Structure 1
Amino acid sequence: MIHLVRFKLSAYARSHRLFQPTIGLFAMLFVFYSTLAPPGKELPAYADSAGLLILVFAWAARGLLDTEPPTQRLISMTAAGRPGREVGAGLLAALTVNLGMAAIAVGLPLLHGFAAMPAPADLASGVALHGLGVSAGTALGALTSRPILASPAVSMLALLGGYLALLLISLTPAGHLAVPIMPWMRAANAGLLGEVLLPVSAATLFWTAASLLLYTRLRRLNP
């Protein structure tokens, strides 16, 4: 499994697909922190970053899972011994890339972005929110990847549409059934994130788990 994850990461790096979401990541961080966040506003900045970067995380995951052509995926499945191992390796590789991007998103403003260092509790909450963003983005990217949607145009439209749908649903009473992006942004800006972090995390992780189970099922039907 580890060797297959390394193979997928290496193929992704060699394909130069990583450059596209990386440019998107730094462009969004530049917009977020072109003006230093004032003291006491570090957590709201992290909350906005975690919610909006879901799109970048999904883009990165989709790109990684799109790297191998169908024939190579079948070879990887054969080498892995079981189809589930190849699917799991792809998801682990995508998660690894996105965790690296999330580390940049959390660490960069500590160097330039905040007028003051955040409190340890705010930093921990920021890390947790970016973790939620990574999980949701990885799941969205998987569901819109080439093994599921063969057409690149349809895949990209589904990715953008899926992210916009998550944003819109999070504004409705049904938002607790999906990824409550706007609720966690609002709570962070109101200083109430601690009160909603647990249910927000539960909803996001539930949606992520359901989406990854669907992805795994679809991959078994269409390897």
Structure 2
Amino acid sequence: MIALVAFRLAAYVRSHRVYQALLLALALLAILYGSRAPKGEETSVLTDGAVLIVPVLAWAARSLLDTEPDRQREMSAIQAGSRGKEVAAGLVAAFATCAGLAAIALGWALLLGVSATPPPGVLVAVIALHALAALAGTALGALTSRAIMRSPAVSITALLLGFLATLLLSTSPLYWLTVPLIPWMRAANAGDLLGRFPELAALSLVWCLIGLAGYVWRRLRTS
């Protein structure tokens, strides 16, 4: 399966689709961190960046999963020995791409976006939030990929509306019904990120895994 993951990543790079997501991410980061945040606001600024990069990561995951033609995907499943391994390889490659972009976003934020490095505990929480952002982007991108939604127009619309719906729902008392992106930001702005981190991280992880499980179920069911 490792070879198939490497193949998917190499195909994504060779197709030049990777530059679409990379340039979009760099443009977003240039806007977000056009000037350094004042000292004391590191937590909120870094958390906001983790939230706002999610749709870009979803775009990257969707693009990677759509790079391989349908016939090639069928051949990959045969070579891997099962449909499950082919699906897993695609998700691992998508997450690796999202994690790389999230790492670039976090590195940019720490170097150019804040005036001081946050305390170690906060830094660990922020790193974890960027990892969860990569997982959320992978799930959203997978659920709107061509294997699930055949129409590109419907796929792109669903990706954008899915992210907006997540934001809207997470502003309500029912935030626990989705990845709680807005509560991430509220907790950071209130200085309570570490206190609420276990709850918010657990909710985020659960909903990301549910989304990925839905993608896997759909792919295996239609194979």
Deviation of 1:106 (Å): 1.1
Q: How does 1:193-212 map to 2 (within 5 A)?
A: 193-212=193-212
Instruction: Determine if contact 1:56/1:137 at 8 Å carries over to the other structure.
Output: yes
Give the CA deviation at 1:221. 2.3
CA RMSD of aligned residues (A): 0.9
What residue number does 2:86 align with?
Answer: 86
- SS of the aligned residue for 1:128 comes to helix
Partner residue in 2 for 1:46: 46
How many Å separate the matches in 1 of 2:199 and 2:109? 27
TM-score (norm 2): 0.97
Kept in 1: contact 2:77–2:86 (CA 8 A)? yes
In the other structure, the counterpart of 2:145 is 145
Sequence identity percentage: 50
Equivalent residue letter for 1:132: L
Provide the residue aligned with 2:3 in structure 1: 3
Cα separation, 2, equivalents of 1:212 and 1:116: 36
Instruction: Identify the residue that residue 21 of structure 2 maps to in structure 1.
Output: 21
Please say if 1:109 is aligned against 2:109.
Answer: yes
Rounded to whole Å, the distance in 1 between the matches of 2:128 and 2:220 is 32
Paired with 1:194 and 1:119, the residues of 2 have a C-alpha distance of 11
Aligned residues: 223
Structure-2 separation of matches of 1:147 and 1:35:
41
Q: What is the distance in 1 between the residues matched to 2:42 and 2:170?
A: 23
What CA distance in whole angstroms lies between the structure 2 residues aligned with 1:37 and 1:126? 16
Q: Any gaps of 5 or more consecutive residues in structure 1?
A: none
Distance across 2 between alignment mates of 1:9 and 1:88: 13
Deviations 1:70-99 (A, max 9, x none): 100000000000100000000000111111
TM-score by length of 1: 0.97
1:30 Cα deviation from its structure 2 partner: 0.9
Aligned to 1:32: 32
CA distance in structure 2 between the partners assigned to 1:158 and 1:109 by the alignment:
29
Which blocks of at least 5 consecutive residues in structure 2 are unaligned?
Answer: none
Distance 1:111 1:183 in 2: 25
Give, in angstroms, the shift of residue 118 of structure 1: 2.1
Q: Name the residue aligned to 1:73.
A: 73
2:167 equivalent in structure 1: 167
Q: Which deviates more from structure 2 when the two are superposed, residues 5-14 or residues 122-131?
A: 122-131
Secondary structure (helix, strand or coil) at the match of 1:126 reads: helix
